[in-house]
């Protein structure tokens, strides 16, 4: 089976002399959640930002199925089926919920937009009730749902999320992650960058521990969870 997303030896960062991601590789299959974990400053966020075309890539490659999408500008990535939910400021607070979705639907054919938005509303009924509200007035959990909904509008093959649990209560995190599991069931490949290793490994199929810009350990989520070397990384045994 060919991977939905295949990243090979990626080197990326704003300053070419000081790459933050330094030779990281990653593959995700359709219908699979891969959790990217690691200590603070390991380059987790930069890795998915570089894949999404937000952070400059110095070398390495990013393939979406058979297509080479390395260094495509961010706004073109979506058209190829790669959606990205940033950690903060991930919705347009001044636009209504519906305008947020309509904006993202802009790359679909005009005839498809309304139908797709209706589908998304069926998946997120809370948002349907709040569609006229300015997105900035949503609660924290709903905000995160709106951001994910915005990313899903284009029916992406790959969905990447940067710390979707940040700032949410455990109960809300559970709700968000339950949604991710449902999205996986639709065959979407998901890359989940997380500080919250426990919650992430609980739903992930595989996990990747990133240290100093490249993967240190990789394996099935259940194995990583029990691995003492992984625990050590998180307990501060290794310099971040």
Report the C-alpha gap between 34 and 229 in whole angstroms: 19
Contacts of 153 (CB under 8 A, 6+ apart): 101, 104, 105, 108, 116, 117, 120
Q: Which of residues 69-128 bind other proteins (CB under 8 A)?
A: 73-75, 77-79, 84, 86, 89-95, 99, 102-104, 106-107
Min dist CB 53 to other proteins, Å, is: 8
**Total site size for other proteins, rule CB under 8 A:** 26
> What does DSSP assign to residue 80?
G
Which CB, 6 or 108, lies closer to other proteins? Answer: 108
Report the C-alpha gap between 206 and 137 in whole angstroms: 35
Which residue's entry shows tokens 């990535």? 77
Min dist CB 87 to other proteins, Å, is: 11
Q: Which of residues 147-176 bind other proteins (CB under 8 A)?
A: 150, 154
CB 102 within 8 A of CB 42: no
Q: Which of residues 191-210 bind other proteins (CB under 8 A)?
A: none
Which CB, 95 or 166, lies closer to other proteins? Answer: 95
Min dist CB 58 to other proteins, Å, is: 18
CB 31 within 8 A of CB 189: yes
Q: Which of residues 23-42 bind other proteins (CB under 8 A)?
A: none
Min dist CB 154 to other proteins, Å, is: 7
> What does DSSP assign to residue 239?
-
Report the C-alpha gap between 98 and 117 in whole angstroms: 8
Min dist CB 52 to other proteins, Å, is: 6
Report the C-alpha gap between 107 and 110 in whole angstroms: 8
**Phi and psi for 120 in degrees, rounded to 5?**
-65, -40
Which CB, 17 or 73, lies closer to other proteins? Answer: 73
Q: Which of residues 40-69 bind other proteins (CB under 8 A)?
A: 52-54
Which CB, 96 or 222, lies closer to other proteins? Answer: 96
240 binds other proteins (CB under 8 A): no
| Residue window 209-238: x/- pattern of binding to other proteins, with contact defined by CB under 8 A | ------------------------------
Q: What is the sign, positive or negative, of the torsion defined by CA atoms of 219, 224, 227, 233? A: positive
Min dist CB 233 to other proteins, Å, is: 25
CB 8 within 8 A of CB 28: no
* Contact residues for other proteins, defined by CB under 8 A: 52-54, 73-75, 77-79, 84, 86, 89-95, 99, 102-104, 106-107, 150, 154
């Amino acid at each position: 089976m060919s991977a939905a997303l295949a990243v090979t030896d990626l080197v990326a960062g704003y300053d070419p002399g000081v790459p933050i991601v330094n030779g990281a590789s990653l593959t995700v299959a359709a219908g699979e959640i891969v959790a990217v974990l690691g200590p603070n400053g390991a380059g987790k966020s930069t890795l998915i930002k570089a894949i999404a075309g937000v952070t400059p890539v110095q070398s390495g490659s990013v393939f979406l199925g058979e297509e080479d999408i390395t260094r495509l500008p961010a706004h073109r990535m979506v058209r190829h089926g790669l959606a990205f939910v940033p950690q903060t400021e991930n919705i347009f607070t001044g636009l209504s919920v519906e305008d947020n979705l309509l904006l993202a639907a802009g790359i679909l054919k005009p005839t498809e937009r309304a139908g797709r938005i209706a589908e998304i509303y069926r998946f997120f009924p809370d948002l349907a009730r709040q569609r006229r509200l300015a997105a900035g007035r949503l609660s924290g959990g709903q905000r995160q749902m709106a951001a994910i909904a915005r990313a899903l509008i284009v029916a992406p093959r790959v969905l990447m999320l940067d710390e979707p649990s940040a700032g949410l209560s455990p109960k809300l995190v559970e709700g968000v992650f339950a949604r991710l599991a449902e999205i996986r069931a639709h065959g979407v490949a998901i890359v989940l960058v997380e500080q919250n290793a426990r919650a992430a490994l609980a739903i992930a199929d595989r996990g990747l521990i990133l240290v100093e810009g490249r993967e240190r350990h990789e394996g099935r989520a259940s194995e990583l969870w029990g691995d003492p070397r992984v625990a050590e990384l998180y307990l501060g045994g290794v310099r971040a």
